[in-house]
Amino acid sequence: MALLGCALTGPAAANAEDAPAGRSKNTSFAVFGEAPGYITPESVCDMVCPAHRHGTPRQAYEKLTRDLRNRPADQLSSIWICRMNQEETLVRFLPLVDQIFINPFAYTSEEGPAEGQRIWPGFDHPVINNIRRIRSKAGRKRLIASVNLKGDPNLFHRRKPDFEEIRWMVYAVIGANFQGLGWRGNPSTVPWAERLSRLEDNLKRYQTDLGAARPVAWCKALDNQPISAIASDRTLFVVLLNPEYMRVVPHGKSPPLPLDGNAREVRIGLLPPPELTVEAARTLSGLPLLLAGHRNNPQVACRLTGAGKILVFSIRRHPHRRPERARQPIQPRTEPVEERKQ
């Protein structure tokens, strides 16, 4: 999908005559919004709030089935699932559509990650647990995360979120292999509109690869830092989060968070399959990072400040290459590995 949330330019414009805006059927990462210059989620959804706006769930299911019968095969079908009976509605309507808009921050969960989980492995956090559960229920269907710029009441009681908290939520769903974002509220009127715009621009740069990426298990933080990794054929994204930026207290509400910007060094070890090589590393904003170690087991270090970070790696596939040596488990390096000066 072309970047749906923005004004139709580039690839999106090419599809504008063939399908209603935002409904062309491809796989790129998408951003929607409720402001000028964005395509609204409602305009591309075949049904909004099937849990309660269309009679009983059975009646809604039958209506959507009828409505989709004449949809052209090259157009996406979409629904918007509200917080009412969210998981039950997701499971019921999932088989009918290509794409689901959903608020993964409406609830929290105490169900931690299972053994062998690739999405935020080992990260037991009530917000992440719910995001992970939604991704698991949805299988490989496209998920668009609804992000309330004014702060979801479940997480922000009587206050508005800081930009770092919004960034935490964005990174959380990207690490969970969501394929897009839907801003609730006007992105141009928030106090940190310029920073939010830069974040969008950085994501747009990788929209094709973010849309095609799938979770991988060959990345590991060497210091217990929560990470989640997704990769396309040519790009690996390693997402890091600071758990302290989204603390959930009893009754599901969060106090003001520690936005003090304390920095710490994080080391990431990569153990790519024999047919892949990692060729370059950088931050989401484009600042280069130094790759160290053997090419079969490279490592990178960066300074983590604020809510989190996304590291981007260029990878190359060699389908007929044989491994040069036995693959060894990732081990921490003893000598310092420094990030290039930013």
The enclosing H or E element of 31 equals: strand 30-32
Instruction: List residues bridging with 27 in a β-sheet.
Output: none
Tokens 């009893």 sit at which residue?
250
* Segments making up each domain of the chain, as ranges: 11-215, 219-317
CA atoms within 13 A on the CB side of 109: 15
Q: Which amino acid is at 300?
A: V
The enclosing H or E element of 68 equals: helix 57-68
Dist. CA 287–CA 185, nearest whole Å: 30
Contact between residue 289 and residue 282 where contact means Cβ atoms under 8 Å apart: yes
Which of the 8 DSSP states describes residue 296? T
Domains 11-215 and 219-317 share a fold: no
Rg for the chain (alpha carbons), in Å?
Answer: 20
Q: Which amino acid is at 50?
A: P
Tokens 């990462």 sit at which residue?
29
Q: Which two tokens stand for residue 154?
A: 């479940």
Instruction: List residues bridging with 266 in a β-sheet.
Output: 302
Dist. CA 102–CA 173, nearest whole Å: 11
pLDDT of residue 342: 38
Neighbour tally for 43: CB within 10 Å = 14
CA proximity to 184, closest of 153, 222, 205, 209: 153
Which residues have CB under 8 Å from 30's CB, separation 6+? 1, 2, 3, 4, 5, 22, 144, 179, 180, 181, 207, 211
Dist. CA 11–CA 22, nearest whole Å: 11
Which of the 8 DSSP states describes residue 311? E
Residue-by-residue pLDDT tens, the chain, 342 positions = 333 343 322 233 333 334 455 565 667 899 999 888 899 888 899 999 998 899 999 999 999 999 999 888 888 899 999 988 999 999 999 999 999 999 999 998 999 999 999 999 999 999 999 999 999 999 999 999 999 998 877 777 777 888 999 999 999 999 999 999 999 999 999 999 999 999 999 999 999 999 999 999 999 998 889 999 999 999 999 999 998 888 776 555 555 555 555 688 999 999 999 999 999 999 999 999 999 988 889 999 999 988 999 999 999 988 766 555 545 555 554 444 444 443
Instruction: List residues bridging with 241 in a β-sheet.
Output: 308
Which of the 8 DSSP states describes residue 55? S
- Domain range 219-317, CATH class: mainly beta
pLDDT of residue 203: 96
Strand pairing category for 288-289 and 276-283: antiparallel
The angle subtended at Cα 313 by Cα 142 and Cα 244, nearest 5°, is 70
For the domain 11-215, what is the CATH code?
3.20.20
